[in-house]
């Protein structure tokens, strides 16, 4: 299994990924005439307008929901690893990718708005929707949706909860070790994972409005904490 993971890792995390991200960002920046710069003032105005509807969420809540999927342990460990392997120059390339990637993110968000649908009084959309409707590739939309559910529902929470569990172990100790069907884990990690799962389920199954209400409170503190650590 480890050899399979290493093989896939060597393909996915290769220079091809970097060139693809940079190329896509540059392409969309040129096509949109650098919308990330042109519409910066308008973005700020809309962000603080606070407008929302009964079927949707406010602009700030939308930003908070978006940031909640981007701000995490990767912003700490990822940046530290990049600087450790590539030196201070890695920071410059992270800025370049972030600048050009803003146009890619804008394009993705715009397509999600164009091809969204109303379902039970709430709007639903995203890549799976516009892949099916704009590209006409329903099979690819299904693959994307299943892969996203697995990645965001299993892999990413697992990484985040493991990082939180490591922090709990460092602060309070690991406690006894317990044998499980998937390996040996400390009591601290098991309790931490259980509590996180319960809280996550309570938030997610409350729908987008509950997610937005939670993230608009928590995300600003997450961003401030990470900014303070990085500085």
Q: What single string gives the DSSP state of each residue in the chain?
A: -HHHHHHHHHHHTSHHHHHHHHHHHHHHHHHTTSHHHHTHHHHHHHHTT----SSS--HHHHHHHHHHTT-SHIIIIIHHHHHHHH-THHHHHHHHHHHHHHHHHHHHHHHHHHT-EEETTEEE-SHHHHHHHTS--HHHHHHHHHHHHHIIIIIHHHHHHHHHHHHHHHHH----EEEETTEEEEHHHHHHHHHHHHHHHHHHTTHHHHHHHHHHHHHHHHHHHHHHHH-
What was the pLDDT predicted at 100?
Answer: 93
Average pLDDT, the chain: 81
Q: What is the pLDDT of residues 92-147, one digit of tens each?
A: 888 898 899 999 989 988 898 899 887 777 778 889 999 998 888 999 999 999 99
Q: What is the pLDDT of residues 184-219, one digit of tens each?
A: 778 888 888 888 888 888 887 877 778 888 888 888
The pTM of the full predicted model, rounded to 2 decimals, is 0.72
Please say if the pLDDT value at position 48 is more than 70: yes
């Amino acid at each position: 299994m480890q050899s399979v993971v290493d093989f896939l890792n060597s393909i996915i995390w290769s220079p091809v990924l970097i060139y693809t991200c940079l190329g896509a960002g540059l392409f969309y920046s040129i096509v949109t005439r650098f919308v990330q710069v042109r519409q910066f003032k308008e973005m700020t105005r809309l962000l603080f307008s606070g407008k929302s509807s009964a079927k949707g969420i406010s602009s700030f809540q939308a930003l908070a929901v978006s940031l909640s999927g981007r701000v995490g342990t990767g912003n700490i460990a990822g940046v530290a690893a990049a600087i450790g392997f590539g030196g201070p120059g890695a920071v410059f390339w992270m800025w370049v990718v972030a600048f050009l990637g803003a146009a890619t993110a804008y394009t993705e968000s715009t397509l999600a708005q164009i091809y969204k649908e109303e379902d039970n009084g709430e709007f639903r959309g995203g890549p799976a929707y516009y892949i099916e409707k704009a590209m006409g590739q329903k099979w690819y939309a299904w693959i994307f949706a299943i892969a996203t559910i697995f990645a965001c529902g299993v892999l990413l929470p697992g990484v985040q909860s493991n990082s939180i569990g490591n922090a709990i172990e460092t602060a309070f100790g690991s406690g006894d070790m317990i044998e499980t069907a998937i390996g040996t884990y400390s009591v601290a990690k098991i309790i931490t994972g259980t509590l996180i799962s319960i809280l996550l389920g309570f938030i997610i199954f409350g729908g987008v409005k509950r997610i937005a209400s939670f993230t608009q409170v928590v995300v600003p503190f997450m961003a401030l904490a990470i900014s303070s650590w990085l500085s």
